[in-house]
């Protein structure tokens, strides 16, 4: 671990990514307040604005705001259903343009990335930022803008990146620190939300300067793990090696349209979500030993899990899901209204380290279903659509079940089959 003597990291964040991509793709939306909703439905009052344009934000509209509240703040708000396939293509095009100027070190999410600066780039950060912005504007359009931060390491560059949004550039040379950092609230640090701010306040830490003047062991104790200590070093300009990320689960969730909020239709949706999650898991070479089903109603919810015999085929996963639905029906009234449902495969094992239990023989029946599932995957992939499934395949209205954009995951083309 060492302290940086020059700018070493660029952090880039696209401004209002989902809404700006929609504005670039659909001319009638340009310059207008736009709110992106999960899917097209007549019952928009039951929807949430999952992303909004800068024009909408000027009226006080925020991401993850109920539609009635957003329309009260901005009566002219234009609601458009999400287009995950379009967002994925836009993401890939943007990454390609940026890599023409500088290699991308890591894609942090659908709308954020980080790059390592060489000596030449660190000497002229504004020039690099200008070239990136000009390339995006010239080749992809003027409505998708980005904000860029430069600093000694990834954490400081990410904090800097948020300072002059939208379409800004913020440069924090190591020699100027920590002055610019002290102007930011504690909430500017990724992962510091209201609960953590209260925990810090109980220790007498209410400003960025107060946090900076602590000791590593103090933050480790407050966070309860090594992340607090690592954050202390990052805030002090140390260059840290990124921690390896280990895949821990595969899952999908879905908000159900009003006409799909009964138990049977939610079950059908969860089957579709599980098959898509299992397919992703197989592509990455993992098996799962646990399955979790979750259901959210208006005021409460239900969740249950079951053990799996280290599997990845559709037959075994769906059998586990049926077991959970038997338990869900026994716990919930027949008239229960389901707003959201989802599935999670976890307790993963890489395919080169798979082990079954003492009484779980990897027998001919298991191998048969795995071969059948592999054949189904090949057929569906080669035909570019869902031509063969185990049981009914009826996506809920609005589409994109299992293919929606999560901020931390960019779907592959196969997720839209």
List residues with catalytic annotation. Answer: 112
- Considering just the CA atoms, what is the radius of gyration of the chain in Å? 24
* 50 alpha carbon, distance to own chain's centre: 12
Q: How many residues does the chain have?
A: 417
Distances from the Cα of 22 to the Cαs of 31, 32, 127, 407, in angstroms? Answer: 11, 11, 29, 16
Name the nearest CA neighbour of 303 among 260, 257, 251. 251
Give me the phi and psi of 238, to 5 degrees please: -80, 150
Query: Residue 142 in 3-state DSSP?
Result: coil
* Contacts of 135 by beta carbon, 8 Å cutoff, 6+ apart: 97, 98, 100, 101
Residue entry with tokens 């960025």: 208
**Alpha carbon distance 306, 395 (integer Å):** 25
**Alpha carbon distance 38, 82 (integer Å):** 6
Give me the phi and psi of 27, to 5 degrees please: -55, -35
Query: Residue 299 in 3-state DSSP?
Result: coil
What six digits make up the tokens of 288? Answer: 């799962």
* Contacts of 33 by beta carbon, 8 Å cutoff, 6+ apart: 52, 53, 55, 56, 58, 59, 61, 74, 76, 77, 78
Q: Is there a cis peptide before residue 12, judged by omega within 30 degrees of 0?
A: no
- Which strand ranges, in their side-by-side order, compose the sheet holding 301-311? 249-255, 340-350, 286-296, 301-311
**Alpha carbon distance 140, 208 (integer Å):** 38
């Amino acid at each position: 671990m060492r302290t940086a003597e020059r700018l070493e990291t660029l952090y880039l964040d696209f401004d209002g990514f989902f809404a700006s991509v929609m504005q670039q793709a659909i001319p009638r939306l340009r310059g207008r307040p736009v709110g992106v909703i999960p899917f097209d439905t007549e019952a928009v009052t039951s929807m949430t604005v999952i992303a909004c344009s800068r024009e909408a934000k000027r009226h006080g509209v925020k991401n993850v705001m109920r539609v009635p509240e957003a329309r009260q703040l901005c009566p002219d708000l234009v609601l458009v259903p999400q287009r995950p396939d379009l967002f994925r293509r836009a993401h890939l095009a943007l990454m390609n343009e940026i890599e023409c100027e500088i290699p991308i070190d890591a894609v942090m999410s659908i709308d954020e990335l980080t790059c390592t600066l060489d000596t030449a780039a660190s000497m002229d950060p504004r020039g690099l930022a200008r070239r990136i912005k000009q390339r995006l504007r010239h080749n992809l359009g003027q409505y998708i803008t980005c904000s860029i931060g430069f600093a000694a390491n990834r954490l400081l560059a990410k904090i800097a990146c948020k300072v002059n949004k939208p379409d800004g550039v913020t440069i924090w040379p190591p020699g100027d620190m920590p002055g610019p950092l002290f102007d930011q609230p504690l909430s500017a640090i990724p992962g510091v939300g209201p609960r953590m701010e209260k925990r810090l306040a109980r220790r007498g830490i209410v400003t960025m300067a107060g946090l900076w003047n602590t000791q590593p062991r103090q933050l480790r104790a407050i966070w309860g793990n090594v992340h607090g200590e690592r954050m202390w070093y990052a805030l002090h300009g140390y260059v840290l090696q990124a921690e390896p990320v280990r895949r821990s689960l595969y899952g999908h969730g879905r908000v159900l349209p009003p006409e799909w909020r009964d138990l049977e239709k939610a079950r059908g949706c969860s089957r579709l979500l599980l098959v898509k999650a299992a397919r992703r898991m197989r592509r990455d070479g993992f098996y799962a030993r646990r399955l979790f089903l979750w259901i959210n109603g208006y005021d409460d919810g239900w969740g249950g899990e079951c053990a799996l015999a280290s599997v990845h085929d559709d037959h075994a996963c769906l059998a586990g899901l049926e077991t959970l639905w038997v338990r869900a029906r026994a716990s919930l009234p027949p008239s229960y209204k389901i707003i959201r449902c989802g599935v999670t495969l976890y307790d993963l094992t890489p395919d080169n380290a798979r082990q079954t239990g003492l009484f779980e023989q990897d027998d001919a029946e298991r191998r048969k279903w795995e071969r059948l599932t592999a054949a189904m995957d090949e057929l569906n992939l080669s035909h570019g659509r869902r031509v063969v499934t185990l049981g009914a395949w009826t996506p809920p209205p609005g589409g994109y079940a299992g293919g929606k954009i999560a901020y931390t995951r960019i779907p592959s083309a196969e997720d839209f089959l």
